[in-house]
């Protein structure tokens, strides 16, 4: 049996769609730009929403890439055979070009052709939308799969909960999808077992979304004038389908897990120790990717920084269980950097930063644990000696504030002759988890799918703010992230101190002077090299000679961007900075509004 590596699959996928006249584009940052709906880039389509809504992509109507994605709603599940917080999504898109026939035919060809993945046809199962009051049954997709030779008992109609995507917000593009599954060979859990079952027999490997409807404010669906195709294939999942085993048996994880094992002072690895190995490998892999990103953020107590802090500290807790020496976990980060450095060269460029931040967080966490031990003793001192029970709220506070896993609290309590109300702890934990999942999935209303007048004006204002900061504070200022709601903009930038009142006033006045100048806003498409030569600023993310959109605001600002923008600055109104604060180490944050 042939063994596939991650590099082979990435290469084959992009070669296949290049043959189908797609342009390969660079992946986007894992920190969403101007999208407040999520903390991280969670899917390949997420940064492409403006183009799915009708903006013209500079590379044309057929594009493909490999996108780094972060999903953190199930952090506590990591350590089993399937969950991972960082993964890579292989995607191809039609922006108003081809539709169902080409998309389904090409998916079948890539999966089953001997030239490409050569998966046995009998191992593949498919689902399509069964229809409802909003949209009809997807007979076209069903007929296309049947025409390719898919047997009836390998093809299922499914409801909207299984085979429908979108819209990204409350309104906008949406439509049915068709999903492809691999039969792992496990026995059916029941007679009713089908690809919608979570027993593990069927693993989804690819999803083709057909955006052919638009949902309005009244919940009504109407046909789209521009029909799009958005697909996503999980790299880790297709490797499991091809090679067998779990995600930790793929080349993406194997060496990282083994490095973690070598660092441990333990000789025996039972089920708990094996789970700790997986948690450490996953969490440090993800943390390395986030900190080393082009817009990388560092551990903090808010937003993305809080997620990184949580990942690193959870990894440290499990490193302690495996008796991994303090300061050694950075060797795992170094391995991740070496493993992914060829694909994502920014990791090597940011290696010093990654190692420094992880070491610093380890030192901080060790101090926190020591403080937590003191708090634990204070908690016992306050308890009624007759009850001999630690309540669930107190146990959860030890976890949430000081990083104490419930196992540590139980162990310490037992040593002192106390019990812990574990059920009450679980209730607090579940409530916290639901909030975390909600935060990971949708942080604010608005986002890239919201091309309202308010968000368009605020997005345009970020260009003026960026250039004004550079002129007031110096050319070394770089954007480190932004997000926009309908009420305000938030802009993060590299700077190592608090701005003075005079500097804030100068920046604010410079933006307003530009608005009053009524500059026209012009978009030109050019190569990255041409953009650099013309003095454009922005994230030069290209690895494939991309054509980019460069927006010029009079002679004041020139920046690479994906939109949306107003036609002139006069439409913006009055710019007002509401707050300037620290975001993370070496990064400041400005919140501003338009009046």
Identify which of 34-48, 227-241, 357-371 has the greatest average pLDDT.
227-241
For residue 97, the model assigns a pLDDT of 96
Residue with structure tokens 């429908």? 164
69 is in an annotated binding site: no
Q: Is 356 annotated as a binding residue?
A: no
pLDDT in tens, 318-362: 898 899 999 999 999 999 999 999 999 999 999 999 999 999 999
CA distance 512 to 399: 47
- Residue pair 492/583 in contact by the 8 Å Cβ criterion: yes
Confidence label for 435 from pLDDT (cuts 50, 70 and 90): low
**What's the pLDDT at 312?**
93
Strand pairing class (86-95; 62-70): antiparallel
Which region among 231-245, 322-336, 409-423, 484-498 has the lowest average model confidence (pLDDT)? 409-423
pLDDT at 450 over 80: no
- Does pLDDT of 307 surpass 90? no
Which residue, 174, 239, 237, is CA-closest to 209? 174
Average pLDDT over the chain reads 88
Question: Mean per-residue pLDDT for 465-489?
Answer: 90
**Is 60 exceeded by the pLDDT of residue 437?**
no
Asked whether residue 404 carries a pLDDT value surpassing 80, the answer given is no
DSSP 28-85: PPSS-BS-TT-SS--STTGGGHHHHTTPPPTT-SEEEEEEEEE--TTGGGTTSSS--S
Tens digits of per-residue pLDDT, 164-187?
988 866 777 899 999 999 999 999
Give the whole-angstrom CA distance, residue 304 versus residue 31. Answer: 8
Joined together, the tokens standing for residue 590 give 């400005």
| Assigned fold of 453-594 | 3.30.980
Q: What is the fold, at CATH topology level, of the domain defined by 6-249?
A: BirA Bifunctional Protein; domain 2 (3.30.930)
Residue 463 in marked binding region: yes
Highest mean pLDDT among 39-48, 309-318, 498-507: 498-507
Report d(CA 188, CA 81) in Å as an integer.
Answer: 19
Q: In the prediction, which pLDDT does 102 show?
A: 98
What is the reported pLDDT for 443? 40
pLDDT of 438 strictly over 80: no
Q: How confident is the model at residue 562 (pLDDT cuts 50, 70, 90)?
A: confident
Q: Which two tokens stand for residue 444?
A: 């604010």
For the stretch 127-155, pLDDT in tens is 999 999 999 999 999 999 999 999 999 99
pLDDT higher than threshold 60 for residue 448? no
**pLDDT tens for each residue of 75-99:** 778 878 778 999 999 999 999 999 9
Task: Check pLDDT > 70 for residue 35.
Answer: no
Q: Give the residue among 16, 499, 42 at the shortest CA–CA distance from 234.
A: 42
Q: Return all residues near 216 (Cβ < 8 A) that are at least 6 apart.
A: 171, 222
Alpha-carbon distance of 51 to 65, in angstroms, equals 15
The model's pTM: 0.76
Domain boundaries, the chain: 6-249, 253-380, 453-594
Residue 63: half-sphere exposure toward Cβ, Cα within 13 Å:
25
Max avg pLDDT among 104-113, 358-367, 410-419? 104-113
Rounded Cα distance, 420 and 395, in Å: 7
**pLDDT at residue 445 is higher than 50:** no
* Mean pLDDT of the region 27-50: 82
Lowest average pLDDT, out of 352-361, 405-414, 585-594, goes to: 405-414
> What phi and psi values does residue 587 have, to the nearest 5 degrees?
-130, 130
| Residue 561 assigned as binding residue | yes
Is residue 447 very low, low, confident or very high in pLDDT (cuts 50, 70, 90)? very low
- pLDDT at residue 147, as a whole number: 97
User: pLDDT tens digit string along 200-259?
Assistant: 899 999 999 999 998 888 889 999 888 999 999 999 999 999 998 999 999 999 999 999
C-alpha of 346 from chain center: 17
Q: Where are the beta strands (DSSP E) in 340-430?
A: 389-390, 419-420
Topology match between the domains 6-249 and 453-594: no
Rounded CA gap, 547 and 526, in Å?
A: 5
């Amino acid at each position: 049996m042939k063994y596939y590596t991650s590099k082979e699959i990435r290469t084959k996928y992009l070669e296949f769609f290049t043959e189908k006249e797609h342009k390969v584009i660079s992946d986007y940052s894992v920190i969403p730009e101007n999208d407040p709906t999520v903390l991280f880039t969670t899917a390949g389509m997420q940064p492409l929403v403006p183009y799915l809504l009708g903006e013209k992509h500079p590379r044309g109507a057929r594009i493909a890439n490999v996108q780094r994605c972060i999903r953190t709603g199930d952090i506590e599940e990591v350590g089993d055979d399937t969950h991972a917080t960082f993964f890579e999504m292989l995607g191809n898109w039609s922006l108003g070009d081809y539709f169902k026939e080409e998309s389904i035919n090409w998916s079948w060809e890539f999966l089953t052709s001997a030239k490409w993945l050569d998966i046995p046809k009998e191992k593949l199962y498919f689902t399509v939308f069964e229809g409802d009051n909003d949209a009809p049954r997807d007979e076209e997709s069903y007929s296309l799969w049947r025409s390719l030779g898919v047997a009836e008992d390998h093809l299922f109609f499914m409801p909207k909960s299984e085979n429908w995507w979108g819209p990204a917000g409350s309104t906008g593009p949406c439509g049915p999808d068709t999903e492809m599954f691999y039969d792992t060979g496990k026995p059916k859990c029941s007679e009713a077992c089908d690809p919608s079952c979570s027993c593990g027999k069927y693993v989804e490997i690819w999803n083709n979304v057909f955006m052919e409807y638009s949902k309005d404010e009244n919940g009504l669906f109407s046909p789209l004038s521009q029909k799009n195709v958005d697909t996503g294939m999980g790299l880790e999942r297709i490797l499991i389908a091809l090679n067998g085993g779990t995600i930790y048996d793929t080349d993406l994880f194997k060496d990282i897990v083994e490095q973690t094992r070598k660092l441990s002072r333990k000789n025996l690895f039972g089920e708990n120790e094996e789970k700790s190995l997986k948690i450490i490998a996953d969490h440090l892999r993800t943390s390395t990717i986030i900190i080393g990103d082009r817009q990388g953020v560092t551990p903090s107590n808010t937003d993305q920084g809080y997620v990184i802090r949580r990942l690193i500290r959870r990894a440290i807790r499990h490193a302690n269980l495996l008796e991994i020496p303090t300061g050694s976990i950075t060797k795992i980060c170094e391995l991740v950097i070496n493993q992914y450095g060829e694909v994502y060269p920014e990791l090597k460029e940011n290696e010093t930063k990654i190692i420094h931040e992880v070491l610093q967080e380890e030192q901080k966490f060790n101090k926190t644990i020591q403080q937590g031990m003191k708090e634990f003793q204070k908690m016992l001192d306050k308890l009624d000696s007759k009850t001999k029970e630690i309540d669930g709220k107190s146990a959860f506070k030890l976890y949430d504030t000081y990083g104490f896993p419930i196992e540590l609290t139980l162990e310490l309590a037992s040593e002192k002759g106390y019990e812990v109300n574990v059920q009450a702890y679980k209730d607090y934990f579940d409530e916290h988890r639901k909030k975390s999942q909600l935060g990971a999935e949708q942080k604010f209303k608005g986002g890239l799918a919201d091309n309202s007048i308010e968000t368009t004006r605020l997005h345009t204002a970020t260009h003026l703010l960026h250039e004004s900061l550079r002129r007031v504070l110096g050319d070394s200022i770089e954007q480190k992230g932004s997000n926009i709601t309908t009420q305000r903009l938030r802009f993060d930038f590299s700077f190592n101190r608090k701005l003075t009142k005079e500097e804030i006033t100068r920046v604010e006045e410079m933006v307003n002077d530009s608005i009053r100048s009524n500059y026209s806003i012009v978009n030109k498409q050019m190569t990255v090299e041409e953009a650099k030569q013309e003095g454009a600023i922005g994230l030069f993310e290209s690895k494939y000679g991309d054509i980019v959109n460069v927006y010029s605001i009079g002679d004041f600002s020139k920046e690479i961007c994906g939109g949306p923008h107003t036609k002139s600055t006069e439409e913006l109104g009055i710019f007002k900075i509401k707050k300037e604060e620290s975001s993370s180490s070496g990064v400041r944050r400005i919140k501003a509004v338009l009046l």
